[in-house]
Structure formats: structure tokens, C-alpha cells
Structure 1
Amino acid sequence: MVQSTIPTGSAPKAPAPSRRGLFIGIAAAAVVLAAIALDTTVVHVGSEADIRQQAFSPDGFGQAEFPRIQEFVRQRAAEASELAAAIEADREAAIAQFGTPASTGAILAVRVTGVAGEPRAGIHPLAVEGLPEDITVRVQTGPAINGTDLRDAPGDIEFGAFRNQIEYQNAGAGLNRAMKAAVLDPIDTANLTGQTVEVVGAFRLINPQNWLITPVEVSVK
């Protein structure tokens, strides 16, 4: 009679894993790590990619872009009487020559000299010689500067360059603050009434008889 050599009560040992299975597991892990490496971008501090990943700064954007927009408006600006006549004669031609088409009314660039009246809500009316009496001219002097006329003036600051509508709107606000710091803060806007001022700026052509100018340059005569 042949007796079993396995001790009573002991379970048989599981076979050791094969070398082939071990190699397959190592190869699979290597493939996963390679895929992760290919999908990972190394961003160096201070690089262009690093800047893009940082939170959007409306004020940084405004300070960087305002000088360019200021010069653009200066170059395109027409004298107020010339612009009024051009709009009356051919609105689309006036926009092509002195402004930028936009979805909510074209932005026109103008240079105007007038006497500042009493302000209301941070806006001074201007009495301008040589303009038809039915045209009202006003200029924003703050402290709050509203609208996106400066953002839309050059025509190349597009929604697609921003992550969402909030950033796009904030870009306009950042430009307004940059303009205020550079143009309006150095002058005494609280005491402009009765003074002759020359303004270069932009306005949105919605009502041809109502120009609300956002300035890029103001000088007191």
C-alpha cells in the first residue's frame, strides 16, 4: 500500500506565476506610463504656456492693450463736423472710413472741441460749434466708465480669444480702467464745467443724433 506524503490537514500550494505572465504585466504597465507621458505637457514657469494657464487679469489686459487702441483711435478720428456730414451723406461709407463695424452698432472715432456743461452721472455734455443743433455730444469723464467701445474699436479683440463671456466683458472693463488712469485721472474732471476741452475718442453709432464718447485723449484749453 502506497501512503501519501502530504501532511494531514495541509492544503496543496498554488503554482507559482509563470515568467511569461510577469513579463506581460510589466509590458502593459510600461505602455500605460508611456501614454501618460505623451499626454502630459511640461510647462516652464514664465513661459507663454504658463502665462496662458494663469487666471485672466482684466487690468493687466487693459494696461497692455490701451496704448495700441489709443493710437488706433487717434489715427482714425475725424473732426466732428466732418464726421457728422459723412454720416448724413452715407452712413456705411462713414463707418468704413472712420470706424469699425460691430454687431451692436459700429464704433466711430472722432475728434471734437467744445465747452463742457454740467455733468450728470459722470458724463459731461459738450457744446460744439459747427455741428447741427439736433446732434447731442457727451463725453464720459467718470469716475465710472461704462461700455465696451474701446474694446470693440480696433475690431480685432474677439470673443473667441477668451474663455467665456465674463472674461470678454471684463476685458472691456479693464480697458476702461486703463484709459481712466492714463487719460482722466491726471486732469480735474470735477471742474470741467465751462471749460473748453478737446476730446479724441470713440462712440457707438446707434442713434446718429446722440454721441456718447469714451475718450482716449482729453486736453483742457
Structure 2
Amino acid sequence: MIKATTQSQLSNQISAKKRKIALVSAISATIIFGAMALDTTVIVNGSVNDLRQQVFSPDNYANTHYADIKSYVLDNSVNAITLLKELQIDKKAAGDKYGVGGGIGPVIPVSFEGTIDSGRSGIFKVSIPGFPDNQTVRIQTGPAINGTDLRDATGKISFGEFTNQIEYQDVGAALNRAMKADILEDLDRTTLTGKIVEITGVFRLINAKNWLVTPVRMNLK
């Protein structure tokens, strides 16, 4: 009888220990999962954070930002005649007034109407009424679009957003592709010469007498 009682007490002690261990384990798990929850950021599908979790895509970035860049250029473009007059007076002051960024030159949004002259490799000279003969204005129509003027047009896209220089450069090229898809997709370059064109776009001010404009709007007449 004593032996049976002892075994029963031992069994109860073991069961109590197991319950205690289970309780401690449950509390520990609750604490751990609670801490994990506090340290966890909810990622909404399609959000900016969601995109960052994925492999970086320059084209996704460009498709997200191109519309804002285009709107900025359209809203802030200066008439080419006005710009030329101010450049002739003070190049730096005009660049500071109308352009964004520095480095090798500010990027200026500009608008004009003129006649398309002959071109090569998708770059066409435009004759603008009121411009002197020694003033050159050219537009990029593709297929190849050079430069990072669209990327730098607003001053809001900076190198610090990206992992490295390659991503930063790739975004510039991707924005050029987004622009081409927007306004140059069906352009017949073989028929451009002699046509009247309305252009709104951007160029980097390096040589005040030679503008290479990347368009965001191109209307042929």
C-alpha cells in the first residue's frame, strides 16, 4: 500500500513538472512571437516596400515615376524665345532660374514650335522662328535616346536611393524607354523633315548655343 502511494505521489510530481514545463514553454513562445510581431513590418502587395523586397527593376521604377516627371516638365517649361534671351544676358542666372541641378549643367524644361530639318540617327535639328542661325536646337526621337536628362529633370531622384551607380544609370535609361513608349512608339522618322512640330522637353545646359532636347510631348502638324 505504501509502495502504491509512493508511486502515485511520484506520478503526480512528474505530471506537475510536465505541466510547469509546458506552461513555461507556452509563455516563452508567446513572448518570442510577440517580440517578432513588434519587429515585423507589414508589406502591402504593390507598395513601395513590396517593390524594395523584390529584385530591383529599373523599368518598374521608371513606370512608377515617369508620369510625375512628365507632368513636372509640362508644368514648368519655359518658352524657348524667353529662355534664349535670358541666356544671352546671363547664362548662369538663366540656368539657376529655370533649371534643376548642377554638375556639368542644370536640366531645363523648355517648349517651342518649329520646322524639322534633316536628321541622322534619330536626332533632328529644329528651326525655330526668331532664333539666330548660330543657335542650334535638336530633338531626340529614337530609337536610341541618350543621356539622363529625364531622370535629373525634377531634382527629386538622387543617387542615394539606389544600391549602386549601375542602378542609378539604369533608371535613366529606363525612363528614356518609358518616354519612347509614351510618345514615340508609332513615330515614322522617315517623314519628319519639313513638318511643323510642337515640342516640350528637357535639355542639359552645357553649351548655350546648342540644345539637345529630350521630349515628353511632341505634336506634329
Instruction: Give the TM-score range, shorter chain.
Output: 0.7 to 0.9
Whether 2:151 is the aligned partner of 1:121: answer no
Matches within 5 A, 1:1-221: 41=40, 44=43, 46=45, 48-221=48-221
Q: Using the TM superposition, give the Cα deviation of residue 171 of structure 1 relative to its aligned residue in structure 2, in angstroms.
A: 0.8
* Superposition misfits of 4+ residues, deviation over 4 angstroms: 36-45
CA offset at residue 189 of structure 1? 2.9
Code of the aligned partner of 1:161: E
Give the match's secondary structure for 2:51: helix
Letter of the structure 1 residue corresponding to residue 208 of structure 2: P
Structure 2: how far apart are the matches of 1:71 and 1:189?
Answer: 25
Alignment partners' CA distance in 2, 1:136 and 1:205 = 13
Per the alignment, in what secondary structure is the counterpart of residue 117 of structure 1?
A: strand
Distance 2:118 2:212 in 1: 15
Whether the 8 Å CA contact 1:105–1:204 is kept in 2: the answer is yes
Paired AA for residue 204 in structure 2: R
Q: Distance in 2 between matches of 1:50 and 1:198?
A: 39
Q: Say which is worse superposed, 171-180 or 69-78, in terms of deviation.
A: 69-78
Per-residue deviation at 1:42? 6.0
The answer to whether the 8 Å contact 2:91/2:208 transfers is no
Q: Which amino acid counterpart does residue 70 of structure 1 have in structure 2?
A: K
Contact 1:149 1:203 in 2 (8 A): yes
**Do the aligned residues in 2 keep the contact of 1:95 with 1:101 (CA within 8 Å)?**
no
Comparing 114-123 with 154-163, greater Cα deviation is found at 114-123
Distance 2:42 2:89 in 1: 55
The residue number in structure 2 matching 1:7 is none
Q: Note the C-alpha offset of 1:51.
A: 2.1
**Deviations 1:121-155 (CA, angstroms, capped at 9, x unpaired):** 11011111111221111000001111000000100
Tell me the TM-score normalised to structure 1 length: 0.78
Number of matched pairs: 195
Say which SS state the counterpart of residue 120 (structure 2) adopts.
coil
What's the RMSD between the two structures over aligned residues? Answer: 2.5
SS in 2 for 1:118: strand
Cα distance in structure 2, aligned partners of 1:44 and 1:71:
29
Give the aligned partner of residue 3 of structure 2: none
TM superposition score normalised by structure 2? 0.78
The alpha-carbon distance between structure 1 residues 51 and 130, as it changes in their structure 2 partners (threshold 3 A), is same
The amino acid of 2:115's aligned partner reads V
> Which protein has the bigger helix share?
2
Contact 2:96 2:106 in 1 (8 A): no
3-state secondary structure, aligned to 2:126: strand
